[in-house]
Amino acid sequence: IPGNELIRIDPVSGKKDGFDLGHGEWLYSPMHGYPVYSINSINMMRDLRDDFVTAAAYAWTSSSTLEVRVHYVNWISGTTLVFDFDKQEVTIRDTYPNSKVETVHFVEYKKP
């Protein structure tokens, strides 16, 4: 998250997005791909315009835990990322019903 920006690769389009993150406020950014969705059918967003907007903010919930929330303003979903730097893992939770919670370990972290 260099310079208060979160980078995301869209799994459907393969496009790279950068979201501005607010601290104590929501920052709005256009995105170039598609938001997370509860189904992954073939061509599920083929005819949709891809002019979605995100509102994103972050907060340190402890000295080693960073929480990032991304809401897709003109869509029905959002994502919460919780980075635990002591455990070197990030937990990803989408906001739609029955979403799968994923925890991924990262290999290396260098403090800026």
Question: pLDDT for 82-101, tens place per residue?
Answer: 989 889 888 888 877 677 78
pLDDT for the residue numbered 34? 65
13 lies in some domain: yes
Give all strands (DSSP E) within 38-96, no chain letters: 53-62, 65-72, 78-84, 89-94
96 belongs to a structural domain: yes
Domain membership of residue 59 (yes or no) is yes
**Structural domain tally of the chain?**
1
Rounded distance, CA 78 to CA 30, Å? 14
Q: Could you tell me if 73 and 53 are in contact, meaning their C-beta atoms sit under 8 angstroms apart?
A: yes
Q: Which residue has the higher pLDDT, 17 or 105?
A: 105
Q: Which residues contact 20 (CB under 8 A, 6 or more apart)?
A: 4, 5, 27, 28, 29, 56
Question: Residue 47: inside a domain, yes or no?
Answer: yes
In a domain, 46, yes or no: yes
How far is residue 35's CA from residue 67's CA, in Å, rounded to a whole number? 19
Residue 51 identity? D
**Cα–Cα distance, 78 to 33 (Å, whole number):** 14
Residue 92, domain extent: 2-105
The model's pLDDT over 6-57, given as tens digits with 9 standing for 90+, comes to 655 555 556 666 778 888 889 998 876 666 665 555 555 555 666 788 898 9
Q: Is 112 within the bounds of a domain?
A: no
80/56 Cα distance (integer angstroms): 10
Confirm whether 111 is domain-assigned.
no
What pLDDT is stored for residue 15 in this prediction?
A: 62
